Structure 1
Amino acid sequence: MQVTEVAAEGLKRAYKVVVPAGEIEGKVDARMKTIARTARMPGFRPGKAPVTLLKKQYGRQVMGEILEEAVKTGQEEAISSNNLRPALRPKVEVTSFPDGGDLEFSMDLEVLPEVPEIDLGALSLTRPVAEVEEAQVERSLEGLGRMRRHHHPLKEPRPAETGDLAVVDFEGSIEGVPFEGGSAEDARLDLGAGRMIPGFEEAIVGHSAGETFSFDVTFPADYAKADLAGKTAAFAVTLKELQAPHEPAVDDDFAKSMGTENLDDLKAKIRGRLVEEYEKMGRARMKRALLDQLADTYAFEVPAGMVELEFQSIWTQLQQEMQRTGQDFAGMGQTEDEVRDEYRSIAERRVRLGLILSDIGTKNNVRVEPQELQQALIEQARQYPGQERQVLDYFRSNQAALDGLRAPIFEDKVVDLVIDKAVVKEEKVSADDLMKDPDEEATPSDEAQEAAAHGENA
């Protein structure tokens, strides 16, 4: 077998592989002899059929098998002899295979890049830390009280107030034309909860049961349904019933109803939960900063094929989301080409970060242990009550799905390793700043730029 490199540019490699005719013929003969020992043909005892007849019956099948094996062996030889690390499955094409002649095929592939050496001890990270204040515990208690809130009929008629439960019929139209989802009967609205578009619940406050009235409200410019975004709708509303809110007293009895010993015990548990939340959010923010630092500091070429696969994945997700919400590119304030360019940059960044994290993990012997993967499987199955067995069977028979569970575990272990080795300083922040959605502070493209580690085999 002869392997010749015919092109090498960046991460792209091209090879010509020649398997001598004699090697092919020898393997065919050996396979035919194996078949001859057990083959049954009319007029001949088992194992006594002439090879010429066997070749006539089995020759095409055997040649196909030998050809497939030769190509596979040739690929392995080309990869092994040239110390290649393929990024994806090589593209193979048979270029010549005349009767009785040599087998020639081409092999094109991209190789994984050499990731720059990263001094983890030189990385500098900031861990945001917030203290749990008594006011936050009290707010959580109030929230628990609101969760137990119920409504009861008014003792005396009065106008609607914020916090009331209003039962209404309403019909909405835009420029006199009804729109989908704009009408309902016996809708139960918790006034002030903000579940309707801005201005709708507020317009009901001050009216009494039995009244019919109308008002206009404008859909937000970023409303999920693009055909309604920014438009003004007229609503005709009949207020059929009002119920007043009642919240239970947050005391020892309330605490016992929540499964704790008393109010102090409930407060302690709330405080502990908030501490865990703050620590989790602090780590998430530090992880985001770490990924940003790695992506901005270490630039190197990444395989175009991997970028294309990642791009197709996130682009499909975007299209599905746009279809679900009725959004279009015009509503996003960008052209399709602009969004494509943005998402391709996101894909490239994801691939680069995945390669960096994979390299760090490999060099530091990071592994996903069987019990860790098993726990992830169990947690996944629990999301589908009654279908746990089917979910487990699906993952165990689908390597790609199993790799999808393994990747975030591997990534988190690598991130923990890096944080442990990096220089980390703590910065005190308010709880509100800590818990603020980081995507509100970021550009739209930042949301999708979290790295997904490409796993232990990258």
Structure 2
Amino acid sequence: MQVTETLNSGLKRELKVVVPAKDMEARLTQRLDDAKGKVNLKGFRPGKVPAQHLRRVYGKSFMAEVVNEILADTQSILTDRGEKPAIQPEISMTEDEKEAEKVLSGDADFEFSMSYEVIPPIELKSFSDIKITRQVYDVTDEEVEEQVKRVADSARTYEVKKGKAADGDKVKLDYLGKIDGEAFDGGAAEDSEVVIGMNQFIAGFEEQLVGLKAGDETTIKVSFPEEYAAAHLAGKEAEFDIKVKEVSKPNELEINDETAKQLGLESADKLREIVRGQLENQFGQVTRQKAKRQILDALDEAYKFEAPSKLVEAEFENIWNQVTRDLEAAGRTFEDEETTEEEAREEYQRLAERRVRLGLVLSEIGEKAEVKVGDEEMQRALIESIRRYPPHQQQEIYEFYRQNPQAMANIRAPLFEEKVIDHLLGEIAVTDEKVSRDELMADDEDEADAKPAKKEKAAPKKKAAPKKAAAKKKEEGE
């Protein structure tokens, strides 16, 4: 096999590979010899088929197998050159049928070209120069009690009362929503239960229930938020025809063992323990993400090199497709995000380049540190991913992952990355700083994630703008 480099520009490489006809013939002869004692041809005893007859019957198909075998083993060419391709090399060979026929007949050399980009060599620097401040927040007893009350509120009982509804009361009602006098999809319900003050509905809806009593009928006027998830309702003024069926007042909520048992726990202390753990985990995730962000920013400053263009293009397409899908789902445009498509493309191109470059750096760090993702970790992550799908699809999705190496690589990547971050946290200078909740959550668009989730019935929470959402991924999901 003769390998000639025909292009070496930056990270781009192109090779011309020639396998002489005599070498192709030697491989074919070996295959024919191996098959001689195995094939069954009419009129010949096993192992007695003449070589020339065997060649006439199987020669071209065996030679095609030789060609495929050579093409499948191009990695050995790169290994011999000491190169790591960024993606699978592109293979080009003759499309002329006559030339291809000569190769299969053993009358011509087999020639093809390989074009690819190499992963640039990365010389790791000392991590001792990286210094970060890790913000740490200690969950207070008051927060635990507040959250315990929210959790326990699902076990609260209500007692029907006479008279007008007040803040905290539960109102059972029928409602019909209209815009410009026309009912809209999803705007009607019967026997809906609303606890005034829980902010389950559009802003202004619950407040107008105060003062109503059983049997009352009225009309409530509200406005959907400008960034409401359903584009056809966003920013629209609506009227809800209301019929109150029942008003109930809340009974006193006591946090005791009996309340905990209604929630499936053995005691109030166990309830508080679980709630504290959940809060510490939620705030701990914010702490980790902010620390990780500082590490990635430091690495971004420390390692400046050309990233393989094909990887950047692929990453950009992933980001861009997500951004445009989010915009379409929200019924918004780039102008609504105070930018233009051209400016957005430039921004996300830079983001893609950064993510690819940092991905290569983290990969190199992990390889040098011998970071491993175990089979059990992969299995747990795979199961967690599959659980996001409907039960009837889970087996099919499981088989897809098991048979698709690239899909499994996508499962492994975030696990590997977090392990590399763990490794770096042990190598760099980390100073812990006790901060308040507000300081920890400052400038964090996911602050709502650290708060107790509220059930949304009529008004989903406002989504982060696509531009901000993608920027967030830059910090938390390189």
Q: CA RMSD in A?
A: 3.1
In structure 2, the partner of 1:136 is 143
In structure 1, the partner of 2:290 is 285
Alpha-carbon distance in structure 1 between the residues aligned to 2:297 and 2:442: 19
- Residue 68 of structure 2 aligns to a residue whose secondary structure is helix
Give deviations 1:114-147, integer Å, cap 9, x for gaps. Answer: 2242321110111112233332233223223323
Which stretch shifts more, 42-51 or 422-431?
Answer: 42-51
Give deviations 1:190-241, integer Å, cap 9, x for gaps. Answer: 2222222111222222222222222322111121122322222232222232
In structure 1, the partner of 2:199 is 194
Alpha-carbon distance in structure 2 between the residues aligned to 1:231 and 1:385: 34
Alpha-carbon distance in structure 1 between the residues aligned to 2:443 and 2:175: 34
Alpha-carbon distance in structure 1 between the residues aligned to 2:241 and 2:266: 50
List runs of 5+ in structure 2 lacking aligned partners: 448-466
Give deviations 1:329-359, integer Å, cap 9, x for gaps. Answer: 5554544444444433333222222111111
Alpha-carbon distance in structure 2 between the residues aligned to 1:293 and 1:269: 36
Which stretch shifts more, 393-402 or 200-209?
Answer: 393-402
In structure 2, the partner of 1:456 is none
CA contact (8 A) 2:166 2:211 kept: yes
Alpha-carbon distance in structure 1 between the residues aligned to 2:338 and 2:62: 60
Distance apart, 1:418 and its partner CA: 0.8
In structure 1, the partner of 2:455 is none
Aligned residue among 105, 108, 113 for 1:106: 113
- Residue 68 of structure 1 aligns to a residue whose secondary structure is helix
Give deviations 1:14-68, integer Å, cap 9, x for gaps. Answer: 1111111111122223322333333333333333333343333222211211111
- Residue 201 of structure 2 aligns to a residue whose secondary structure is coil
Alpha-carbon distance in structure 2 between the residues aligned to 1:105 and 1:308: 25
In structure 1, the partner of 2:46 is 46
Alpha-carbon distance in structure 1 between the residues aligned to 2:337 and 2:173: 34
Give deviations 1:155-207, integer Å, cap 9, x for gaps. Answer: x2x22222222222222232333332223333222222222211122222222
Q: What does 1:336-347 align with in structure 2 at a 5 Å threshold?
A: 336-347=341-352
Q: Which amino acid aligns with 2:433?
A: E
Q: What does 1:151-190 align with in structure 2 at a 5 Å threshold?
A: 151-154=158-161, 156=162, 158-190=163-195
Cα pair distance change 1:93/1:262, threshold 3 Å: closer
- Residue 186 of structure 1 aligns to a residue whose secondary structure is strand
Q: What does 1:47-446 align with in structure 2 at a 5 Å threshold?
A: 47-73=47-73, 75-95=74-94, 97=100, 99=102, 100-154=107-161, 156=162, 158-251=163-256, 253-254=258-259, 267=272, 270-271=275-276, 273-322=278-327, 325-327=330-332, 329=334, 331-377=336-382, 379=384, 395-435=401-441, 438-439=444-445, 443-446=468-471
Which stretch shifts more, 256-265 or 165-174?
Answer: 256-265
Q: Which amino acid aligns with 1:43?
A: G
Alpha-carbon distance in structure 2 between the residues aligned to 1:131 and 1:125: 19
Cα pair distance change 1:48/1:250, threshold 3 Å: closer
- Residue 34 of structure 1 aligns to a residue whose secondary structure is helix
Distance apart, 1:112 and its partner CA: 0.8
Which stretch shifts more, 201-210 or 1-10?
Answer: 201-210
CA contact (8 A) 1:127 1:426 kept: yes
- Residue 449 of structure 1 aligns to a residue whose secondary structure is helix
Distance apart, 1:412 and its partner CA: 1.4
CA contact (8 A) 1:3 1:16 kept: yes
Which stretch shifts more, 435-444 or 311-320?
Answer: 435-444
Alpha-carbon distance in structure 1 between the residues aligned to 2:471 and 2:62: 54
CA contact (8 A) 2:227 2:330 kept: no
Q: Which amino acid aligns with 1:88?
A: I
Alpha-carbon distance in structure 2 between the residues aligned to 1:268 and 1:196: 31
Alpha-carbon distance in structure 2 between the residues aligned to 1:271 and 1:31: 68
- Residue 438 of structure 1 aligns to a residue whose secondary structure is coil
Alpha-carbon distance in structure 2 between the residues aligned to 1:328 and 1:140: 38
Q: Which amino acid aligns with 2:20?
A: P
Check if 1:5 corresponds to 2:5.
yes
CA contact (8 A) 1:291 1:451 kept: no
Distance apart, 1:257 and its partner CA: 5.7
Distance apart, 1:406 and its partner CA: 2.2
Which stretch shifts more, 138-147 or 378-387?
Answer: 378-387
* TM-score for both structures, normalised by structure 1: 0.86
CA contact (8 A) 2:158 2:170 kept: yes
Q: Percent identity?
A: 38
Distance apart, 1:419 and its partner CA: 1.1
Alpha-carbon distance in structure 2 between the residues aligned to 1:354 and 1:292: 13
Which stretch shifts more, 359-368 or 405-414?
Answer: 405-414
Cα pair distance change 1:62/1:272, threshold 3 Å: closer
Cα pair distance change 1:405/1:445, threshold 3 Å: closer
Give deviations 1:249-276, integer Å, cap 9, x for gaps. Answer: 2246545666778656755665455445
CA contact (8 A) 2:175 2:189 kept: yes
Distance apart, 1:362 and its partner CA: 1.0
* TM-score for both structures, normalised by structure 2: 0.83
Distance apart, 1:326 and its partner CA: 4.9
CA contact (8 A) 1:224 1:327 kept: no
CA contact (8 A) 2:15 2:115 kept: yes
- Residue 93 of structure 2 aligns to a residue whose secondary structure is strand
Give deviations 1:409-441, integer Å, cap 9, x for gaps. Answer: 211111111111111112221124325671269
Q: Which amino acid aligns with 1:27?
A: R
CA contact (8 A) 1:354 1:451 kept: no
Alpha-carbon distance in structure 2 between the residues aligned to 1:188 and 1:362: 56
Alpha-carbon distance in structure 1 between the residues aligned to 2:238 and 2:390: 41
Check if 1:449 corresponds to 2:474.
yes
Cα pair distance change 1:196/1:437, threshold 3 Å: farther
Alpha-carbon distance in structure 1 between the residues aligned to 2:327 and 2:339: 14
